[in-house]
Amino acid sequence: MRLDLIPPMLGKSDLRVVIETPKGCRNKYAYDPELEAICLRKLLPEGMVFPCDFGFIPQTSGEDGAPLDVLVLMDESAWPGCVVGCRLIGVMEAQQTEGGERRRNDRFIAVAQASLNFQHIRRPEDLPARFVEQIEAFFVSYNKLEGKRFKPLRISGTGPALKLIEARRIKAD
C-alpha cells in the first residue's frame, strides 16, 4: 500500500483514513511502512475490543513517529487497509507517558461519509457523554496493558483538530 499516493485531505474538513483495526476486533493491526502492508501487531485480552474502526491519516506523523490516529464512526466495520472518506468532527487531545517520556498521542474523531446512522454527528458535543467516557476508558486500559499511561486532556472541535493535522502533515520534498 503506497501511502504517498493517498492524499490525506479531500476538502476543508474531509479526509481519507486508512483503517487498521475494525470495530469489535480483538486483533490490533498496524501499518508497517517497510513492508507497505497492514500486519497483525498483537491480540487484546478476552472481552476487550476496539470500540470504533481505528485508522490513520496518511502523509502525517505524530510525536510517536506513527501517522495520526483516527476513530471512525460508521454503520458497519471496514476491513484493514480500506480507505474511508470521512468528515472530521474533532479530536480527543491526549498525553501518553512511556518510560518516563511524555508525548502527545491524540485521537481524531471522524464520521464516515457513507454512514447513514452517524450523519447527524457534526461536533463532539453531538456524541453521547457516556460514549466519550467509554472511548477514553478504552484507551486508558489499552495503553496500561503495554505499560503506558494515557491521559485524555480535552475533546476539541473541528477547528483545533484541523490545526493539529496541518502541523503534523508530512511535506513533500
Is 96 part of a structural domain of the chain? yes
Is 135 part of a structural domain of the chain? yes
Is 80 part of a structural domain of the chain? yes
Contacts 24+ apart (CB under 8 A), 94-99: 94/139, 94/150, 94/151, 94/152, 94/153, 95/150, 95/151, 95/153, 96/64, 96/143, 96/148, 96/149, 96/150, 96/151, 97/148, 97/149, 97/151, 98/146, 98/147, 98/148, 98/149
**CATH at residue 122:** 3.90.80.10
Give the per-residue pLDDT at 173: 59
Is 69 part of a structural domain of the chain? yes
Share of the chain above pLDDT 70, in %: 98
Is 172 part of a structural domain of the chain? no
One-letter amino acid for residue 16 of the chain = R
Q: Is residue 37 predicted with pLDDT exceeding 80?
A: yes
**Residue range(s) defining the domain that contains residue 149:** 3-167
Query: Which set of grid coordinates corresponds to residue 95?
Result: 498525553
Is 173 part of a structural domain of the chain? no
| pLDDT tens, residue by residue, 39-90 | 999 999 999 999 999 999 999 999 988 999 999 999 999 999 999 999 999 9
Is 139 part of a structural domain of the chain? yes
Count of domains forming the chain: 1
Is 95 part of a structural domain of the chain? yes
For the chain, what is the mean pLDDT? Answer: 94
